Amino acid sequence: MKHFIASTALVATLAAPAVAQDADTVLATVNDKEITLGYLIAVVDSLPQQFKDLPDEQLLDGLLRQLIRQEALVASHGDNLDRVQRLQIEAQEVALIANFAVAKAIDLTEEDLRAEYDKTYGNAAPQPEFNASHILVATEEEAASLVAQLAEGADFAELARTFSTGPSGPRGGSLGWFGLGQMVPPFEAAAMALEVGEVSPPVETQFGWHVLILNDKREVGPPAFENVRDTLGEKLSEERTQATVDAAMAAATIVDRETGIDPSLIRNLDLIAD
């Protein structure tokens, strides 16, 4: 496909335009094979976007000539395919049909996405979010010393920039806003227990010892639909794909491999050579 636009050779004489231009309108013939407008439309739909973006006249002219060349090659060489090539065509056809089946199952509408949003967030209660800063050090003794200095009026941000080993140290320990489940459990529990402006006692996590200060907290409602639209679409697509595969597998009579084979044989083209 990538070369068809560059070619200007006229390979066959095009059929005259039909008065009624519908899917059965014949655009060209190669021997007895008709290339119809419907066939061309289906091929265009399968093209990469870069070709779909071409002007219609350029796309029609270039693609039709490409299809004419292909049909001519099939007519002259189609009967000369070896066993490997025939099996590869069969495998590609199976994969294409399977992809069509999945694509049909996950053809999501706006109503589907809205329904999933309502299902996921319709009854969601407001959730707390916290704005905190922390200082991360290696030992409990270091953390306790920092707590004592803060109690005596030391500036939290300055201590963080001086002593914190965490990546937030250079910005004064600021972690910004975070919700439930975004921090490790001991850290989250400590943040939830604080009042705004309060400093925590030393808190141990797998990363070391922390001293927290709660800068602010708030309650937030569910995210806007547009902010989670893509995520909901991915979730629904995965669920529908799995359901489609499960249903197809359940309806099929399957006899799985019962005897062992040498795995290296799957690369041996000689076994299927004519």
What does the alpha-carbon distance between residue 40 and residue 28 come to, in Å, rounded to a whole number?
Answer: 11
Q: What is the pLDDT of residues 44-70, one digit of tens each?
A: 999 999 999 999 999 999 999 999 999
What is the per-residue pLDDT for 260?
A: 84
Q: What is the mean pLDDT of residues 19-27?
A: 83
**Domain 127-220 CATH class label:** alpha beta
Burial 196-217 (b: 16+ CB within 10 A, else e): eeebbebbeeeebbbbbbbbeb
Q: What is the pLDDT of residues 235-274, one digit of tens each?
A: 999 999 999 999 999 999 998 877 788 889 889 989 888 7
What is the per-residue pLDDT for 18?
A: 45
What is the per-residue pLDDT for 15?
A: 46
- Residue 36 neighbours by CB under 8 Å, 6+ apart: 23, 24, 25, 26, 27
Residue 188 pLDDT greater than 80, yes or no: yes
What does the alpha-carbon distance between residue 9 and residue 20 come to, in Å, rounded to a whole number?
Answer: 28
Residue 2 pLDDT greater than 50, yes or no: no
More confident: 182 or 274: 182
What is the per-residue pLDDT for 79?
A: 86
Residue 11 pLDDT greater than 60, yes or no: no
Where along the chain do the CATH 3.10.50.40 domains lie? 127-220
CA distances from 135 to 24, 122, 162, 163 (A): 73, 38, 9, 7
Give the sheet arrangement for strand 127-137, strand by strand. Answer: 174-179, 127-137, 208-220, 203-205
Residue 204 pLDDT greater than 90, yes or no: yes
What is the per-residue pLDDT for 259?
A: 79
DSSP 211: E
- Residue 69 neighbours by CB under 8 Å, 6+ apart: 4, 7, 11
> 10 Å Cβ neighbour count for 142?
17
Confidence of residue 9 (pLDDT cuts 50, 70, 90): very low
Q: What is the pLDDT of residues 74-98, one digit of tens each?
A: 999 888 899 999 999 999 999 999 9
More confident: 264 or 216: 216
- pTM across the whole model: 0.58
What is the per-residue pLDDT for 20?
A: 59
What is the per-residue pLDDT for 231?
A: 96
Residue 177: Cβ-neighbour burial (10 angstroms; 0-12, 13-18, 19+): middle
Q: What is the pLDDT of residues 121-173, one digit of tens each?
A: 988 889 999 999 999 999 999 999 999 999 999 999 999 999 999 999 999 99
136: three-class secondary structure by DSSP:
strand
What is the per-residue pLDDT for 256?
A: 86
What is the per-residue pLDDT for 66?
A: 95
